Amino acid sequence: MNLADLNTIARAMVAPGKGILAADESSGTIKKRFDVIGVESTETSRRDYREMMFRSKEAMNDYISGVILYDETIWQNAADGTPLVKLIEQAGSIPGIKVDEGTQPLPNCPGETITVGLDKLAERLAKYYKQGARFAKWRAVIDIGAGIPSYAAIHTNAHALARYAALCQQAQIVPIVEPEVLMDGDHDIDRCYEVTEFVLKETFQELYYQKVALEGMVLKPNMAVAGKKSAKSAGVQEVAEKTVKLLKACVPSAVPGIAFLSGGQSDEDATAHLDAMNKIGGLTSGLPWGLTFSYGRALQAAPQKAWSGKADNVAAGQAAFTHRAKMNSLASKGEWSS
């Protein structure tokens, strides 16, 4: 492992004013998104949609540091035969790859899951590196509900995240470590804080046991937010203050950067929360790591709607994508205003 090179990539992923486009929806998930806009999900429509984003010049050059791809996409060519990976590289952005294989029920833990995909991961990482991937993503999912999460679910998922991260670094690929505490429940922000704190502490403990170099990774956490069905909502400032406090308590300063998931927040909430956190203090005002975005839905809902599968709408789709990318770029510097 060359840690200096891993650190250079990790820092580029969270460079000031830039963040990550999570375009790694599985075929099942992208079908759900396309269903909403009335587009049939085929290999070609998925390609056309993603090509549209990767050819958005301003967004890709100025606001997007890296793109997380799904296995299908990393091998696809644009309509003119250019590999999609090359389009990303030509824009000065870094190609990345989702390497987990989704979740399965965790035995003896009703309602909880374990993320799978460790078998043969070393071989897959070597192939992805050859194809141009310089970072990877693995998402662990922790749900909050009656009697959950269990320690078993938190521990096994943290263990798997660390196994994945160690394998990535061995393959000279920067791991995005993503322990996502879902915002689906009726819990309040303080319960989310408490669970996320436990999950992050356990994750960093496992990363330490498995000798993962923190300088060569990026953390992708959820923010501290109230559950979607909570009777008690939390305002922008409360989310920002509690999330910053939480991260300060849990994330070692050796980690180069933190790139949040949007997790089902509205586009504007995801931007407002990131902005408020960076107004409290980003790299420039006392926090040891950059705070930026690694959004899927909050970057793509608008362009999906504007595009709606029609070639005539490509420019409109690109404009919508560029707008959201620019707003989140401003938010990553604490310079956004509504």
Query: DSSP class of residue 95?
Result: E
Beta carbons of 309 and 38 less than 8 angstroms apart? yes
Q: Binding pattern to ligand 13P, positions 204-223, x when CB under 6 A? A: --------------------
Q: Between residues 82 and 103, which has the closer beta carbon with respect to ligand 13P?
A: 103
Dig out the tokens for 106 from the structure: 């965790």
| Residue 49 binds to ligand 13P (criterion: CB under 6 A) | no
Spatial distance between the Cα atoms of 165 and 144, rounded to a whole number of angstroms:
25
What is the smallest separation between the CB atom of 94 and ligand 13P, expressed in angstroms? 15
Beta carbons of 70 and 21 less than 8 angstroms apart? no
Q: Between residues 281 and 323, which has the closer beta carbon with respect to ligand 13P?
A: 323
What is the smallest separation between the CB atom of 261 and ligand 13P, expressed in angstroms? 4
Spatial distance between the Cα atoms of 68 and 19, rounded to a whole number of angstroms:
11
Q: Between residues 133 and 298, which has the closer beta carbon with respect to ligand 13P?
A: 298
Dig out the tokens for 240 from the structure: 């920002």
| Residue 97 binds to ligand 13P (criterion: CB under 6 A) | no
Dig out the tokens for 232 from the structure: 């008690």
Q: Binding pattern to ligand 13P, positions 297-326, x when CB under 6 A? A: xx----------------------------
What is the smallest separation between the CB atom of 201 and ligand 13P, expressed in angstroms? 21
Q: Between residues 266 and 284, which has the closer beta carbon with respect to ligand 13P?
A: 266
What is the smallest separation between the CB atom of 99 and ligand 13P, expressed in angstroms? 12
Q: Provide the strand spans (E) within the chain.
A: 19-22, 64-69, 94-98, 103-105, 113-115, 135-142, 174-181, 218-219, 257-260, 290-295
Secondary structure of residue 40 in the 3-state scheme? coil
Nearest to 19, CA basis, from 244, 332, 320: 332
For ligand 13P, which residue of 46, 124, 134, 139 counts as binding (CB under 6 A)?
A: 139
Q: How many residues contact ligand 13P, by CB under 6 A?
A: 10
Does the annotation count 220 as an active-site position?
Answer: yes
Q: What one-character-per-residue DSSP string does 291-311 give?
A: EEEEESHHHHHHHHHHHTT-G
Considering only residues 168 through 187, tell me which ones interact with ligand 13P, judged by CB under 6 A.
178
What is the smallest separation between the CB atom of 276 and ligand 13P, expressed in angstroms? 18
What is the smallest separation between the CB atom of 20 and ligand 13P, expressed in angstroms? 8
Nearest to 158, CA basis, from 134, 136, 139, 184: 139
Spatial distance between the Cα atoms of 199 and 115, rounded to a whole number of angstroms:
15
Q: Binding pattern to ligand 13P, positions 263-302, x when CB under 6 A? A: x-------------------------------xxxx----
Q: Between residues 253 and 328, which has the closer beta carbon with respect to ligand 13P?
A: 328
| Residue 22 binds to ligand 13P (criterion: CB under 6 A) | yes
Q: Between residues 44 and 266, which has the closer beta carbon with respect to ligand 13P?
A: 266
- State the Cα torsion 123-126-132-134 to the nearest 10°: 100
Considering only residues 235 through 264, tell me which ones interact with ligand 13P, judged by CB under 6 A.
261-263
Beta carbons of 329 and 274 less than 8 angstroms apart? no
Catalytic residue among 18, 98, 220, 333: 220
Annotated catalytic sites, by residue?
Answer: 220
Positions touching ligand 13P (CB under 6 A) are 22, 139, 178, 261-263, 295-298
